[in-house]
Amino acid sequence: MEERLFWVGLGMGFYAALVRISLKRESWKTRLWAGVWHSMFWAGTGFALVMIITMSLDSRGNIPMQSISALNHRSLLYGCVAAAAGAVWGFFRIYAQGAELEERETMLSNDLEWADTFFSAVLLASFLMYFVLQAFKIPSGSMRATLLEGDHLFVNKFIYGIRIPMTSTRLARWKKVERGDVVVFRFPTDDTEEVHCGNKQYGKDFIKRAIGLPGDKVEVKNGVVFVNDKPLLHEAYTQTVDAQRQPSSPVRLDPDRYQNLWQDHQLDQTLGDATRDFFGPVKLPADEYFVMGDNRDRSCDSRFWGPVADRFLKGKAWFIYWPPDRIKGVE
């Protein structure tokens, strides 16, 4: 979300810079040029409104959520339609109400003021969302009963370090991921066509609990999770809803091939859903984590699609702020 918001704000800032140039040149204050600049403002406004609306809808969609950094074709089409309608309206408005130079200058000055305000507000918001705090909504049941459908929560985005945009480098790391942390991350793939759990997952945001840390050995036997050969028997936050455990896969893989398929996010392509209750063992590579949903029987997680590299982490779930009767910290 923060990345798309940043580019929308940057577009308005670019427009504001161009309007400042036009206001200094008498030749650009003709009715035609005023119409062009005014239509550009309304085109940008229409496109920005559609992007903000789609961001709002995306953030309230099903988790995993579509990342706002990736424009889908439908929202881009709607944005272009809104931009075209805004451009026509802006050009018509200049010719209908801007016969005098003073009127045209007033309109362009107002456009500039609004563009500056939008630019500053959006850049500040995107900065806060990228580096400090971001809001998410939970519509699925994969984290029950810790997080329920409809919960709105804030995610602390600086606790694991401030990530430099367009890189995997983190600065000022307050703490490392600890076992039991509820983390938000972008789905760990760079392949736009990769399919897991029935859908393409590239660019989507997930929320799960960190179970295995770098260097850990993780295994699941008959639904019981083992970390470094020790069972996790006191996970008060977990729940199972199926009375019987799924059988293990009849396909037998040697340990090295099993590990490689899992690290390459291809294990579910070979074994399907059979890894839910009988999984591993695998060893976590450096800077990678094993995550699971608290609702173990209804969670698509690292048992199926592999580890989460540190570069995909966005932050730690902090506290639920809505609905009022659910306000509390996330543990």
Known catalytic residues?
Answer: 142, 208
Report the C-alpha dihedral over residues 185, 191, 195, 201, rounded to 10 degrees: 30
Examine residue 210 and say whether the peptide bond preceding it is cis (omega within 30 degrees of 0): no
d(CA 278, CA 254): 15
CB atoms within 10 A of CB 309: 17
d(CA 162, CA 158): 5
**With contact defined as beta carbons under 8 Å apart, do 186 and 155 qualify?**
no
The residues, ordered by sequence, that sit 6+ positions from 211 with a Cβ below 8 Å of its Cβ are 179, 180, 218, 225, 227, 232, 290, 291, 292, 302
Cβ burial of 324 (10 Å; 0-12, 13-18, 19+) is exposed
d(CA 202, CA 122): 25
Single-letter amino acid, residue 212: G
E-strand ranges in the chain read 65-66, 133-138, 151-156, 162-163, 170-171, 182-186, 195-196, 199-200, 204-212, 217-221, 224-227, 230-231, 279-283, 288-292, 308-309, 313-322, 328-329
